[in-house]
């Protein structure tokens, strides 16, 4: 399995002409997986050899602006490059609780109509992921409000046995999130390649001694 990483931004707090805000792309079998989407990420993509239209999954580590303020704009750009025939698979977005509401409200308030579907899978943090005075419980966000156009997706809780969150699994790899300690609840992501047992030609080995 070939993996290629491209750093689009390594700056923090605010973008600069020399360094974009946090964003990197993992390219895997023709797909692009984006990790964080700071302000200006779509511009950085245009300067790279990557095609934004190949982004199929987005992972947001935490809800500080320099890690996700570029997301609504990127989604709108992807929409402009999409065909309205409804055949495109959803873009899966993973991130902390509260991300679904942020995206829905940003797109709703800006009258942005995306031409492709997207899903938001929210990770429910634990209270020990940040200083107690900084923790905000977003579990009741938008409760009681009708979100007719809100994106679908799962709400993922910590698996105590694995001490992680299972995000996705296919025949080649497993992707999990794990908790990080920061000023706000934060997550790291692990891509673990599954063992690929080879096949031995026993007779050929015997012939070769």
Mean pLDDT of 26-37: 93
The domain in which residue 99 lies consists of 4-207
Answer whether 36's CB lies under 8 Å from 45's CB. Answer: no
Percent of the chain with pLDDT over 70: 95
Give me the pLDDT at residue 60, please. Answer: 98
Q: Which residues contact 202 (CB under 8 A, 6 or more apart)?
A: none
Give the predicted TM-score (pTM) of the model: 0.89
Q: What are 118-156's pLDDT values in tens digits?
A: 999 999 999 999 999 999 988 887 766 655 556 889 999
Domain of 195, CATH number, reads: 3.60.15.10
* Residue 142 appears among annotated catalytic residues: no
Considering its fold, how many domains does the chain have in total? 1
Given 36, 66, 128, 159, the catalytic residue: 66
pLDDT: which is higher, 181 or 2:
181
pLDDT at 27 over 90: yes
Compute the distance between CA of residue 39 and CA of residue 73 in angstroms, rounded to an integer. 9
Answer whether 167's CB lies under 8 Å from 154's CB. Answer: no
Confidence of residue 15 (pLDDT cuts 50, 70, 90): confident
Compute the distance between CA of residue 131 and CA of residue 183 in angstroms, rounded to an integer. 6
Compute the distance between CA of residue 27 and CA of residue 34 in angstroms, rounded to an integer. 9
């Amino acid at each position: 399995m070939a993996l290629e990483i491209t750093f689009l931004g390594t700056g923090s707090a605010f973008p600069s002409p020399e360094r974009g805000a946090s964003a990197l792309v993992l390219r895997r079998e023709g797909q692009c997986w984006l990790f964080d989407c700071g302000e200006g990420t779509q511009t950085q993509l245009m300067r790279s050899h990557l095609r934004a239209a190949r982004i199929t999954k987005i992972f947001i580590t935490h809800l500080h602006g320099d890690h996700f303020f570029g997301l609504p704009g990127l989604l709108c750009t992807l929409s402009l490059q999409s065909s309205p025939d409804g055949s495109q698979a959803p873009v899966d977005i993973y991130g902390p609780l509260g991300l679904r509401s942020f995206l829905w409200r940003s797109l709703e308030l800006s009258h942005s109509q995306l031409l492709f579907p997207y899903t938001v899978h929210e990770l429910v943090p634990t209270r020990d992921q940040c200083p107690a005075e900084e923790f905000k419980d977003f579990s009741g966000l938008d409760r009681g409000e009708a979100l007719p156009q809100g994106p679908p997706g799962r709400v993922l809780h910590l698996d105590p046995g694995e001490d992680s969150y299972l995000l996705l699994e296919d025949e080649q790899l497993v992707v999990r999130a794990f908790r990080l300690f920061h000023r706000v609840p934060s997550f790291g992501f692990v891509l673990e390649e599954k063992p690929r047992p080879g096949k031995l030609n026993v007779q050929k080995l015997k012939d070769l001694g």
